[in-house]
């Protein structure tokens, strides 16, 4: 019995299963302790023993209903031959690709050997997890990956990728095609290695106008879901198109995702009106209210529980947990959600 997979299959639970986006990471002292053992963040991701340990830490401490493999969305550009590094305290740095010519530096195929340690870590985590805890594999959506690949780093408004897509739509489409193929391959290999559900992170979908959202977010994600299901028809796939406001209903019907992860700004009280009956949802507690705790946290949790009562819902945050989050607040949240 896996409560998380039951809800993804459409069965409402008396108490929602719970996991948190970015549940492994710097808010945990035990993560900070092992993080210092690796030369840099990518080496950490590619060290199966460390990745297994980082994945298991929040499960041991909090007993979440799902584990997400410890890795990063930027392993795909790395395995396509674009140099990726994580400068300490600065976030990711890539060799920016601001012209169609620069895209030619990419290899046309995903380097599976480079990603081998990720699959090895998945097998190790599956063997170590309690039977009732599900294992999630993931990737970044092509649009979000492209924002880092073209900009060379995180950008506040994703302007480099947005300009590129307007100026060079054919070259941008070729990049999307390459990323769709890479994502299908990486997700399918994660399922082969033990992932029982998948999540596609489109963290930067929210800055796209309607037509671009369709072209660069919905269509590539629909192709990824179709491609993965051709190999693995029964694996549930969650999509996280962050910040698309009124666009969720169309996103769900265009992509055929099995569940939708709602960002913090999505009005959870009208999900019954927003989605077709039976739609599986996930989210959407504000990571900042979790930092603050107290009555604001209690009220925000109750609002989500009341709004989703009787619906197939997975309790989660609206975006990743942040490093300053007190562990006591995570514990208080778990007590309240579990009743």
Q: Is 22 a catalytic residue?
A: yes
Q: Which of 3, 7, 8, 41 binds ligand CP3 (CB under 6 A)?
A: 41
Q: Can you read off the two tokens belonging to residue 329?
A: 């607040």
Note whether 320 binds ligand CP3 by CB under 6 A.
Answer: yes
Q: In the complex, what is the shortest distance from the CB of residue 24 to ligand CP3, in angstroms, rounded to a whole number?
A: 4
84 in Cβ contact with 92 (< 8 Å)? yes
Note whether 35 binds ligand CP3 by CB under 6 A.
Answer: yes
24 vs 97, beta carbon nearer ligand CP3 = 24
Q: Which of 3, 17, 92, 247 binds ligand CP3 (CB under 6 A)?
A: 92
Q: Measured between alpha carbons, how far is 307 from 310 in angstroms, rounded to an integer?
A: 9
Which residues 242-281 are close enough to bind ligand CP3 by CB under 6 A?
none
Going across the sheet that includes 197-202, the strands are 66-68, 134-140, 197-202, 237-241, 259-261, 280-285, 313-317
Note whether 27 binds ligand CP3 by CB under 6 A.
Answer: no
From the candidates 31, 46, 119, 148, which is the catalytic residue?
A: 148
Cis link prior to 284 (omega < 30° from 0)? yes
Which residues 131-150 are close enough to bind ligand CP3 by CB under 6 A?
138
Rounded alpha-carbon distances, angstroms, from residue 210 to 143, 262, 285, 311 = 14, 18, 26, 28
Q: Measured between alpha carbons, how far is 77 from 19 in angstroms, rounded to an integer?
A: 27
Q: Which of 5, 26, 61, 116 binds ligand CP3 (CB under 6 A)?
A: 26
Which stretches of the chain bind ligand CP3, using CB under 6 A?
Answer: 21-26, 35, 41, 68, 70-74, 91-92, 138, 154, 201, 203, 320
Catalytic residues: 22, 26, 35, 72, 148
């Amino acid at each position: 019995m896996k409560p998380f997979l039951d809800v993804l299959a459409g069965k409402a639970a008396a108490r929602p299963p719970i996991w948190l986006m970015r549940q492994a990471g710097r808010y945990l002292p035990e993560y900070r302790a092992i993080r210092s053992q690796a030369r840099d963040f990518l080496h950490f991701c590619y060290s199966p023993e460390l990745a297994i340990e980082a994945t298991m830490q929040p499960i041991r401490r909090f007993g979440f209903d799902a584990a997400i493999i410890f890795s990063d969305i930027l392993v795909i550009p790395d395995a396509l031959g674009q140099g990726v590094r994580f400068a300490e305290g600065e976030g990711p740095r890539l060799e920016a690709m601001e012209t169609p010519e620069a895209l030619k530096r990419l290899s046309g195929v995903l380097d599976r050997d480079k990603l081998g340690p990720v699959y090895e870590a998945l097998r190790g985590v599956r063997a170590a997890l309690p039977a009732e805890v599900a294992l999630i594999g993931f990737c970044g959506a092509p649009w979000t990956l492209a924002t880092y690949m073209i900009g060379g780093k995180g950008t506040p408004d994703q302007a480099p990728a947005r300009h590129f897509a307007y100026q060079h739509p054919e070259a941008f489409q070729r990049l999307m095609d390459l990323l769709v193929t890479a994502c299908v391959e990486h997700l399918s290999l994660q399922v082969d290695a033990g992932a029982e559900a998948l999540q596609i992170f489109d963290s930067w979908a929210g800055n796209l106008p309607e037509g671009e959202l369709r072209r660069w977010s919905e269509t590539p994600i629909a192709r990824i879901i179709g491609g993965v299901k051709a190999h693995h028809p029964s694996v549930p796939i969650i999509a996280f198109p962050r910040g698309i406001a009124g666009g969720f209903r169309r996103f769900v019907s265009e992509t055929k995702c099995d569940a939708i992860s709602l960002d913090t700004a999505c009005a959870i009280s009208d999900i019954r009106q927003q989605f077709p009956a039976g739609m599986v949802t996930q989210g959407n507690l504000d990571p900042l209210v979790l930092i603050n705790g107290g009555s604001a946290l209690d009220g925000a949790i109750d609002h989500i529980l009341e709004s989703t009562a009787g619906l197939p819902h997975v309790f989660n945050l609206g975006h990743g947990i942040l490093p300053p989050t007190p562990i006591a607040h995570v514990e208080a949240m778990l007590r309240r959600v579990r009743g």
